[in-house]
Structure 1
Amino acid sequence: MTTWLVQHLTAMRDALRRLFGAPLNTLLSLVVIGVALTLPTAGWLAIENLRAVAGDNPGVQQISIFLTLDAGQPEIAEIESRLQQARPGSWRYVARDEALKDLRKSAGMTEIIGSLPKNPLPDAFIVTPGDVQPESLELLAKTFASWPKIAHVQLDSAWVKRLDALLRLGKLIVVLLAVLFAGALVAITFNTIRLQILAQAAEIEVAKLIGATNSYIQRPLHYFGMLQGALGGLCAALLVSTGSHFLTPPVAELAQLYGGSFTLQGLSTTDIVALTAIGGGLGWLGAKISALIHLRRIS
């Protein structure tokens, strides 16, 4: 166990020496890897923020149930009882007088409402479904519409479908970008390790002549690729976090102009650790492939 640990510590020290032995090359490699990981990470973060915005938008995930004008307290109680049995999610009752007061607060509506002989608004229930899939929302709307004393059920299903399709398309694009740039990261590490093997071909030949195994020779190269990829992942996390920091104030200001409140979501500690691990794993894979291919050519 002690021998195994010493071998790995020696390989790690050798990898660090190679990594910091050429600081300019290392810096350029880290920038390239960081940019390669930044694009899919930023895309994923944008989709998560868009999903959060959609979740806060009442027009997307709420169903309005409008009762007929002649509906009384018994009918209202029956609708509430049906909602308790169906358990579609959360809901709240909006009395017609309360709705009229809210409408009167809108700009330019005071005089119009004052000229009306009576309150034209119906009582309503605002339902926030637990399942926000478009098919589930449409099924709920049809169920509500079949209940007695229901005049209209409002659900913008077309908008929900468009948003859902947009998010699914965005996810697919991010996945394709992630695969593309993951291949680029592996290729970068592959080429870096290849150049190191070619530069140290004579040293590797001598090491083999005195009994060094392939595992012993490859181990520092594996650690080099893993460290380079992990540092590139940290670089990507820094770039994304910096961009998120600069975008947060204008995004909050834009949300305020639309009467909302939204804070741009950045990378969490778990996300940063995952990004670092992904970068390290891809770097190790590139180093592994390159070492297997090019060390065979050295007899």
Structure 2
Amino acid sequence: MSAWLAQHLAALRDALRRLTAAPLNSLLSLLVIGVALTLPTAGWLTLDNLRKLTGDTPGVQQISIFLALDAGKRDHSEIESRLKEVRAGPWRFVPREEALKRLQASEGMTEIIASLPRNPLPDAYIITPTEAQPEALESLAKIFSTWPKVAHVQLDSAWVKRFDALLRLGKLVVILLAVLFAGALVTITFNTIRLQILAQAAEIELAKLIGATNTYIQRPLHYFGLLQGALGGLCAAGLVSAGFQFLTPAVAELARLYGANFALQGLSASDILVLTAIGGALGWLGAKISVLIHLRHIV
């Protein structure tokens, strides 16, 4: 076990030596890998923030239950009991007097409201569902419409469906970009390892002549690809975090103008670890393919 660990530590030190031997080339490679991972990561994070934004913006994905004009306190109690049983999400009661006051506060509505003989607005319940899927929202709206003394249930399901379809399209685009840039990352590592092999062809040939196994020769190159990809992943995490930090004040100001309390959510510690692992895995894959192809031509 100790011999196996010593061999891997030696291969890791060799890979680090190869990285630091040409610092400028290594830095440029890391930046290219970082940019390749940055675009799909930023796209995915943007979609995640957009989905969260819909839950923080007033009036988005809400269901309004309008009661009949003759609904009494007993009807209100029954509706509230049913809402507690369904557990669809937080809700609030809007009495008809409050709704009328809000309507009177609207520009140009004061004289119109004053000319009415009585308050035409019903009592209402505003529910903010915890489930954001369009199918779930429509199902809730159908359930609410069957309750007694419910005159109308309002849900902008068309808007929700359009937004959900847009998010799904965005995810497909991000996945496509991720596949393309993953291929680019593998290609970058493949070419880097190829150059390493060509530059050390004589050294590799001599090592084989004195009895070095293929595993012994390949191991440092595998570690080199893994380290290069992992460091590129960290570089991508830094670029994404810096970009989101730069955009956060402007997005918060825009959200405030629309009456929302929202701030961009950047990468978490687990996201950074996942991104680093993905970069390392792709770098190792590129190194593995390059080693299998090019070492065959040496002795």
TM-score, normalized by length of structure 2? 0.94
TM-aligned CA distance change 1:266 to 1:59, over 3 Å: same
Q: 2:207 aligns to what?
A: 207
Q: 1:192 aligns to what?
A: 192
> Which deviates the most, 29-38 or 143-152?
143-152
Shift of 1:107: 5.0
TM-aligned CA distance change 1:66 to 1:243, over 3 Å: same
Q: Secondary structure at the match of 1:283?
A: helix
Mark the runs of 5 or more structure 1 residues left unpaired by the alignment.
none
Q: 1 CA distance for matches of 2:58 and 2:146? A: 23
Q: 2 CA distance for matches of 1:174 and 1:212? A: 44
> Which deviates the most, 37-46 or 270-279?
270-279
8 Å contact kept, 1:137–1:157: yes
Report the AA paired with residue 135 of structure 1. E
TM-aligned CA distance change 1:149 to 1:258, over 3 Å: same
8 Å contact kept, 1:244–1:264: yes
Q: 1 CA distance for matches of 2:188 and 2:25? A: 12
Equivalenced residues, count: 299
Shift of 1:280: 0.8
Q: 1 CA distance for matches of 2:238 and 2:109? A: 50
TM-score, normalized by length of structure 1? 0.94
The reply to whether residue 160 of structure 1 matches residue 160 of structure 2 is yes
Q: 1 CA distance for matches of 2:252 and 2:161? A: 26
Q: Secondary structure at the match of 2:60?
A: helix
Q: 1:67 aligns to what?
A: 67
The reply to whether residue 87 of structure 1 matches residue 75 of structure 2 is no
Q: Secondary structure at the match of 1:246?
A: helix
8 Å contact kept, 2:223–2:284: yes
Shift of 1:132: 2.3
Report the AA paired with residue 202 of structure 1. A
Report the AA paired with residue 93 of structure 2. Y
Report the AA paired with residue 177 of structure 1. L
Q: 2 CA distance for matches of 1:39 and 1:202? A: 39
Listed as ranges, the matches of 1:42-191 within 5 Å are: 42-106=42-106, 109-110=109-110, 112-191=112-191
Alignment RMSD = 1.6
8 Å contact kept, 2:56–2:261: no
Q: Secondary structure at the match of 1:126?
A: strand
8 Å contact kept, 1:237–1:272: yes
Q: 2:12 aligns to what?
A: 12
Q: Secondary structure at the match of 1:295?
A: helix
Q: Secondary structure at the match of 1:129?
A: coil
The reply to whether residue 281 of structure 1 matches residue 248 of structure 2 is no
Identity of aligned residues (%): 76
Q: 1 CA distance for matches of 2:88 and 2:265? A: 29
TM-aligned CA distance change 1:269 to 1:111, over 3 Å: farther
Q: 1 CA distance for matches of 2:256 and 2:83? A: 34
Report the AA paired with residue 187 of structure 1. T
Report the AA paired with residue 74 of structure 2. P
Q: 2 CA distance for matches of 1:219 and 1:170? A: 39
Q: 2 CA distance for matches of 1:190 and 1:106? A: 65
Report the AA paired with residue 233 of structure 1. G
8 Å contact kept, 2:222–2:288: yes
Report the AA paired with residue 167 of structure 1. L
Mark the runs of 5 or more structure 2 residues left unpaired by the alignment.
none
Shift of 1:119: 2.4
8 Å contact kept, 1:60–1:159: no
The reply to whether residue 216 of structure 1 matches residue 216 of structure 2 is yes
Q: 2 CA distance for matches of 1:96 and 1:262? A: 30
* Residues 150-208 of structure 1 deviation map (CA, whole Å, 9 limit, x = unaligned): 22111000001001111111111111111111111011001100111111111101100
Q: 1:264 aligns to what?
A: 264
